[in-house]
Amino acid sequence: MSGNTFGTLFSVTTFGESHGKAIGCIVDGCPPGLELSEADVQPDLDRRRPGTSRHVTQRRETDTVEILSGVFEGKTTGTPIAMIIRNEDQRSKDYGNIADTFRPGHADYTYWQKFGIRDHRGGGRASARETAARVAAGAIARKWLNQRYGVVVRGYLAQLGEIKVPFKDWSDVNASGNSFFVADASYVPRLEEYMDALRKSGDSIGARLAVVAHNVPVGWGEPVFDRLDADIAHALMSINAVKGVEIGAGFACVTQRGSEHGDEFTPDGFLSNNAGGILGGISTGQDVVAHYAIKPTSSIRLERNSIDKDGNAVKVSTEGRHDPCVGIRATPIAEAMLALVLIDHALRHRGQNGDVVCETPKLR
Amino acid sequence: MSGNTFGTLFSVTTFGESHGKAIGCIVDGCPPGLELSEADVQPDLDRRRPGTSRHVTQRRETDTVEILSGVFEGKTTGTPIAMIIRNEDQRSKDYGNIADTFRPGHADYTYWQKFGIRDHRGGGRASARETAARVAAGAIARKWLNQRYGVVVRGYLAQLGEIKVPFKDWSDVNASGNSFFVADASYVPRLEEYMDALRKSGDSIGARLAVVAHNVPVGWGEPVFDRLDADIAHALMSINAVKGVEIGAGFACVTQRGSEHGDEFTPDGFLSNNAGGILGGISTGQDVVAHYAIKPTSSIRLERNSIDKDGNAVKVSTEGRHDPCVGIRATPIAEAMLALVLIDHALRHRGQNGDVVCETPKLR
Amino acid sequence: MSGNTFGTLFSVTTFGESHGKAIGCIVDGCPPGLELSEADVQPDLDRRRPGTSRHVTQRRETDTVEILSGVFEGKTTGTPIAMIIRNEDQRSKDYGNIADTFRPGHADYTYWQKFGIRDHRGGGRASARETAARVAAGAIARKWLNQRYGVVVRGYLAQLGEIKVPFKDWSDVNASGNSFFVADASYVPRLEEYMDALRKSGDSIGARLAVVAHNVPVGWGEPVFDRLDADIAHALMSINAVKGVEIGAGFACVTQRGSEHGDEFTPDGFLSNNAGGILGGISTGQDVVAHYAIKPTSSIRLERNSIDKDGNAVKVSTEGRHDPCVGIRATPIAEAMLALVLIDHALRHRGQNGDVVCETPKLR
Amino acid sequence: MSGNTFGTLFSVTTFGESHGKAIGCIVDGCPPGLELSEADVQPDLDRRRPGTSRHVTQRRETDTVEILSGVFEGKTTGTPIAMIIRNEDQRSKDYGNIADTFRPGHADYTYWQKFGIRDHRGGGRASARETAARVAAGAIARKWLNQRYGVVVRGYLAQLGEIKVPFKDWSDVNASGNSFFVADASYVPRLEEYMDALRKSGDSIGARLAVVAHNVPVGWGEPVFDRLDADIAHALMSINAVKGVEIGAGFACVTQRGSEHGDEFTPDGFLSNNAGGILGGISTGQDVVAHYAIKPTSSIRLERNSIDKDGNAVKVSTEGRHDPCVGIRATPIAEAMLALVLIDHALRHRGQNGDVVCETPKLR
């Protein structure tokens, strides 16, 4: 049991169900002295928030966060920071029809088998709503990493179904009207058309996304099991609907020669970044780069074969309010998880004599 | 620091460097009463062992394991099982020329930056030799899982460079003369030819592999961070040279519709397994299926640009004895890691009233 | 950093400062299917609550708990249970005078040295108020332990300053008018007189208490570091103001012979319980018995020598509202901590084949 | 299960049974760059070693340690340090008669109940022999703590049965001929006489001991559960036969007034040390002081009532080679455990901005 805590020195424990009273988390291990208020956390929550465009769930939640502890006179004290987000728009009756049946591809079935009881309303604990608490925690991690080391964590959607969106510019990702987090805003009309057709069809679609951390010092990560890349894989795969994770070149390395894959060094820096900024599980000082695949939403309007709790054959289709592509809102979540991995390793890392050394990356 | 322990209730702590006195591990949490001797562990070590074909490193190690504790009158006692493998063929002088330079794509650089000191001989702690200890631990996990739940863990090489080898039959994987762990032995001649050419060229190549667990009961895995899939991603990504991990459909889900990806239920079982046997981080009772990508070896004979410890430009080429494709020997390692994840979750899992319930999967 | 989580499989993470917005906790790992509502938790909180007699702090808090998650239709679901207690009576101005000075014997000094910032209001995170969250978590643990194994956890005050109160009967502990938790209610008038005099003097006093668990099955506890007794010592010593812990005979064993200390077995049970129900770190099936010492409150009215933040000599005396003997309210806290240790080991324990066996104690 | 690992960032995992092939441990998290060889570890092992005087077990073990990994060219590399001590004098036949019966006060009974199997030879895993591995790990911790912070950890025996030995001088503890670790060597003849009589009687006796750490910086320890004092209590109570732990004034605080117990500050330092160097779970910069009680050995020659595995009444007396007072050899073990707690907190501690600050204690 348990399993709702992430991190060793900077740990986050989340709670809450989709249609319960509230969701939230306790962040333990935030260094003292960081200026912090709800205003630092709310923007990331707003980026993840439902109902911001017609392409995502229309559930209406303000996702207003309240900090309950760990901050005194505007600064963190080194003690646990509890954050709470009250649920507001719980239209639980939408879910009555799935209380006794299982959606194909959904955690309905496994929760029921494992626990013998489940809060079926909106997916209960298995809902992506839980990730709002991660985003809140990640916002704190990001602020500290940025202030202390200049680390910047950001992500984008690289592929929506068959549509690959090449990286153009970071400024495009947050451009006005770009509700897709793509790094080339000129693709937005084409994506909107794609999503409109998809929504009409009652189906859903997968996505491929990227998340990147700039300015990570060299030396973060602990061999051999607590590698930075292994922890990133753990973190990203723990996000609802993620089915694959790549570091750097990822699966492309299968057909690479060693002479191509191994990033050459020069006195002025690395000549490439197939490693994704990690060698031997330890950061190299280059950008940390990961990709991940998000499966299509399992709650779709199309009718599908399933069973009920007694094992009888039934047909299931889901009305409710669901994202036809959960990948669209995944970027802030992945950014949060990457930041949580990085801050934990930042705090674990020590230099040669057991002291922290703020290494300046020797190479870029 | 630390980071050399894997698992919560069934934990493995490994030690040892490539050219140190010995490598080994302590397995803590093995249930009592399991019949165990070196004969249960040695076969898996032999499958991973170097020098078994001309396509892998020619280092000569018998990899003979000795069990030091935790077994009494042929059975485990519930106390820690220490295992040791003495290193025999330490040709350290091969590595003298890399003491002060860094191989592109190798952990040489990051270990030196992180620790300010490194055992450069044969890659030291970053050597794939460390994984022999994991294989030894995994052999114990596999035996217990099999005896207690009938779980079978096995893997194969699915792609070597550009050559995709479709799955034909499990019996082919261990067929005599198939030193590649491919699931269609008829591909062996073509692979041998490919590897011979590669070795001659002085270069190396990547690979894509699969690992599967059969007969996993429904209900293993802890939401939301200690998901079975997240732990598998962690485990596989912690293996040297792994750059990508997929569960079930993996990155193929990006272009799947929800109506295609979500595995339908019938009273007789699931109709497909895009989930890879895991929904919401919890096992479904289907086969647990994962794929992973292994990058090409960084130690190659071809000359490459690098720097020395003082930051000066140098040329580096590695002689020594290296696998031109580390993927070839990766199968037993991934099997071990998957078994270690599964036994940990098997021991963590409890049923509705806090007791263990040996669930019979309701569906296949 | 971090450090605010207790337990492995049944874990509790607490948050909150004495005069912040709220205190509370997340309980992770509670087995599913347990009937639970605020009514199960509130009684234990009421027993610990301040202001219940003239011998404890007069701060007015209703300590009303709200459960935010993890319960569905009246039963636990196996997911995290968040509980919150809003602070009501924050008379922070009482503490203005200690913002820049340190009370002898108080955590004021060490928090300031460690974190460089501290919420001085009411002791902030170091306040005994934090223990209300532990009591709330302990109430859940106690209910499950009782329903599943019949375990009963209870405690009493054995000595207040020089006044030793011999154990007479458990029914006395909760007798009406016994605000001291002593096991012989006839001592109450004498204790009241003692406390009245103490309060008048402006000083405080220590106490010795006992905590006992009945019906603990044989076999709980993990050698060699996660022993049941070691975890109990950890748990009790983590309570504010505790300076000593004894298991069974405790320090009395120093002058015992082996022939006296070792509890003899007969077919009908043990003949004594010097072990306190634990041998080799594992429960014997007898009562688990521990004692602990609580130091006198450091916040006293008497003037004492101290320094301010700049190191200058100052005189310090504390007005505010403080318990002259924190031991008086410690019993519910120790009961909670013992329950938290026991449920964690209950969930970790497995029998010979890796399944849980609900052992009936062979001997009493 | 599991439970054989101690520590978070500097962790020790021990293995081995009294009469198995070997005992040993893996130390994970030792900072790199520490000069280390067997010569640093052996002296502490020699102090704990059996057979050094007629007052302890006559088992003949050289307890020669071999370091297998983690050291390169005489310095630690930051990777796991495995250490092994081969068992030599296994006179297992001495124990044949206790294979089927249980010694009163011994872990025989609980191991058998928990695991359904036990290595009865010499107590198996429950033997104090396991602590040699802790002493080896502690020696590394002590060396690093001393070199990095000047910390000195040492202990002494304060009471043997009824004989209290007041502290006279540290130099007496290791004086030639003082095999009792008492801090007043003039007591040795009296103690020898006492032990000779005891041995003749076939009985055993308890002891009270102290362990102290000098030069601990202010600020080590994490509120609220991972307090320095709570971790020390855990560490000391995890030593075989310990039944009580005190920090600073310990149980004496029960009768202390707050005006007496609270250590006053002056600009020149503390005026007393009732706190034992810890306030609010965090080190104050004063000496860290703990006492602990060791129960009398359960293996005695005197005949006692017991049962056999089938529950039949039997008489048990133990021949073999046993310490009549295990407290005599406990000092090096407690020193090791205290050092292990301290180094873990040293590595966890960070200052205001997340960096390590080597605080100079402001006060003594």
A60 is in an annotated binding site: no
Q: Does D115 lie at the interface with B, CB-CB under 8 angstroms?
A: yes
What's residue A55's pLDDT? 77
CB C326 within 8 A of CB C297: yes
* Across B233-244, average pLDDT: 98
CB contact burial D227-239 (16+ within 10 A = b; e otherwise):
bbbbbbbbbbbbb
CA distance A140 to chain B (A): 19
Is the per-residue pLDDT at B362 higher than 50? no
Going by C-beta distance under 8 Å and a sequence separation of 6 or more, which residues neighbour residue B282?
A107, A110, A111, A113, A114, B218, B219, B220, B221, B223, B227, B228
Is the per-residue pLDDT at B58 higher than 50? yes
CB contact under 8 A, D144 and A354: yes
Binding-face residues of C in 128-157 toward B, CB within 8 A:
144, 148
What's residue C355's pLDDT? 64
CA distance A38 to chain C (A): 14
Is the per-residue pLDDT at D355 higher than 80? no
* Across B78-101, average pLDDT: 81
Count the neighbouring beta carbons within 10 Å of the beta carbon of residue A168.
15
State how far the Cα of A157 lies from the Cα of A323, in Å rounded to an integer.
Answer: 15
Q: Does B355 lie at the interface with A, CB-CB under 8 angstroms?
A: no
B241 is in an annotated binding site: yes
CB contact under 8 A, D124 and B24: no
Q: Does B352 lie at the interface with A, CB-CB under 8 angstroms?
A: yes
Is the per-residue pLDDT at A164 higher than 80? yes
B296 is in an annotated binding site: yes
Q: What is the tens place of the pLDDT at every residue in A288-315?
A: 999 999 999 999 999 999 999 888 999 9
Residues of C with Cβ-Cβ distance to A22 under 8 angstroms: 68-69, 82
- Residue D188, CB-side half-sphere exposure with 13 Å CA sphere: 16
What's residue B137's pLDDT? 98
Q: What is the tens place of the pLDDT at every residue in A54-91?
A: 777 777 778 899 999 999 999 999 999 999 999 987 66
CB contact under 8 A, B124 and D79: yes
CB contact under 8 A, D21 and B115: no
Q: Which of C11, C82, C117 sits opposite A77 (nearest CB)?
A: C117
* Opening angle at CA D30, ends D28 and D31, nearest 5: 140
CB C105 within 8 A of CB D262: yes
CB pairs under 8 A between C and D: 367
CB D295 within 8 A of CB C253: yes
State how far the Cα of B39 lies from the Cα of B45, in Å rounded to an integer.
Answer: 10
Closest among D223, D278, D252 to C294, alpha carbons compared: D252
* Across D347-362, average pLDDT: 62
* Across A164-185, average pLDDT: 95
Instruction: Nearest chain B residue to D10 by CA: give it.
Output: B2
What's residue C210's pLDDT? 98
Question: Residue D146: pLDDT band by 50, 70, 90 thresholds?
Answer: very high
B364 is in an annotated binding site: no
Tell me the DSSP string of C2-70.
---EE-SSSEEEEEE-TTSSEEEEEEE-PPTT-B--HHHHHHHHHHH-TTSSTTS--------EEE-SS
D48 is in an annotated binding site: yes
Query: What totals of helices (H) and strands (E) does chain B contain, helices first?
Result: 8, 18
CA distance D352 to chain C (A): 6
What's residue C92's pLDDT? 57
Going by C-beta distance under 8 Å and a sequence separation of 6 or more, which residues neighbour residue B315?
B303, B304, B305, B306
What's residue C358's pLDDT? 43
Q: What are phi and psi of D69, to 5 degrees?
A: -165, 170
Between residues D58 and D273, which one has the greater pLDDT? D273
CB contact under 8 A, B259 and A125: no
Between residues D39 and B309, which one has the greater pLDDT? D39
Question: Residue C93: pLDDT band by 50, 70, 90 thresholds?
Answer: low
Question: Residue C118: pLDDT band by 50, 70, 90 thresholds?
Answer: confident
What's residue A29's pLDDT? 96
Please provide the average confidence, as pLDDT, over all residues in chain C. Answer: 91
What's residue D37's pLDDT? 98
Neighbouring chains of C at 3+ CB pairs within 8 Å? A, B, D
Cα D341 to Cα A11, C280, D336, D337, distances in angstroms: 21, 21, 9, 6
Q: Does A223 lie at the interface with D, CB-CB under 8 angstroms?
A: yes
CB contact under 8 A, C15 and A80: yes
CB contact under 8 A, B77 and D119: yes
Instruction: Nearest chain D residue to B348 by CA: give it.
Output: D1
What's residue A358's pLDDT? 43
Q: Does C309 lie at the interface with A, CB-CB under 8 angstroms?
A: no
Instruction: Nearest chain C residue to B343 by CA: give it.
Output: C354
What's residue B249's pLDDT? 98
Structure tokens at B297: 């070896």
* Across D7-35, average pLDDT: 96
Q: What is the percent of chain C with per-residue pLDDT over 70, rounded to a whole number? A: 93
B297 is in an annotated binding site: yes
B295 is in an annotated binding site: yes
Q: What are the DSSP E strand ranges found in chain B?
A: 5-6, 11-15, 22-28, 65-67, 71-72, 75-76, 81-86, 152-160, 163-164, 207-214, 242-247, 265-266, 269-270, 278-279, 282-283, 288-294, 304-307, 313-316
Q: What is the tens place of the pLDDT at every residue in A4-33?
A: 999 999 999 999 999 999 999 999 999 999
Residues of B with Cβ-Cβ distance to D15 under 8 angstroms: 26, 68-70, 79-82
CB contact under 8 A, B26 and D26: yes
Q: What is the tens place of the pLDDT at every residue in C288-338?
A: 999 999 999 999 999 999 999 888 999 999 886 678 899 999 999 999 999
Binding-face residues of B in 41-100 toward A, CB within 8 A:
none
CA distance A269 to chain B (A): 9
Question: Residue B359: pLDDT band by 50, 70, 90 thresholds?
Answer: very low
* Across B240-264, average pLDDT: 97
Residues of D with Cβ-Cβ distance to A8 under 8 angstroms: 8
Q: What is the tens place of the pLDDT at every residue in A93-106?
A: 655 567 889 999 99
Q: Does A352 lie at the interface with D, CB-CB under 8 angstroms?
A: yes
* Across C202-224, average pLDDT: 96
CB contact under 8 A, A280 and B107: yes
Q: Does C1 lie at the interface with D, CB-CB under 8 angstroms?
A: yes
CB contact under 8 A, A13 and C26: yes
CA distance C325 to chain B (A): 39
What's residue D322's pLDDT? 76
ipTM of the predicted structure?
0.96
Is the per-residue pLDDT at C95 higher than 70? no
Is the per-residue pLDDT at A322 higher than 80? no
Question: The pTM is what?
Answer: 0.96
Q: Does B248 lie at the interface with A, CB-CB under 8 angstroms?
A: yes
Question: Residue D364: pLDDT band by 50, 70, 90 thresholds?
Answer: very low
Is the per-residue pLDDT at B312 higher than 50? yes
CB contact burial D274-286 (16+ within 10 A = b; e otherwise):
bbbbbbbbbbbbb
Structure tokens at D69: 């990994």
Instruction: Nearest chain D residue to C310 by CA: give it.
Output: D267
Interface test with B, best of A109, A300, A363 (most B CBs within 10 A): A109
Characterise C241 by phi-psi region: left (phi > 0), alpha (psi -120 to 50), beta (else). left
CA distance D334 to chain A (A): 24
Please provide the average confidence, as pLDDT, over all residues in chain D. Answer: 91
Name all domains of chain A by residue range, CATH numbers in brackets.
Answer: 90-348 (3.60.150.10)
Query: What totals of helices (H) and strands (E) does chain C contain, helices first?
Result: 8, 18
Question: Residue C164: pLDDT band by 50, 70, 90 thresholds?
Answer: very high
Q: Which residues partner with C16 through β-bridges? A: C23
Between residues D353 and B351, which one has the greater pLDDT? B351
CA distance D145 to chain B (A): 16
CA distance A3 to chain C (A): 7
Between residues C360 and C107, which one has the greater pLDDT? C107
Lowest mean pLDDT among B115-129, C49-63, D37-51, D183-197: C49-63
What's residue C301's pLDDT? 93
B53 is in an annotated binding site: no
Question: Residue D53: pLDDT band by 50, 70, 90 thresholds?
Answer: confident
CA distance C330 to chain D (A): 13
Count the neighbouring beta carbons within 10 Å of the beta carbon of residue A164.
11
Q: What is the tens place of the pLDDT at every residue in C24-77?
A: 999 999 999 999 999 999 999 998 887 677 777 777 778 899 999 999 999 999
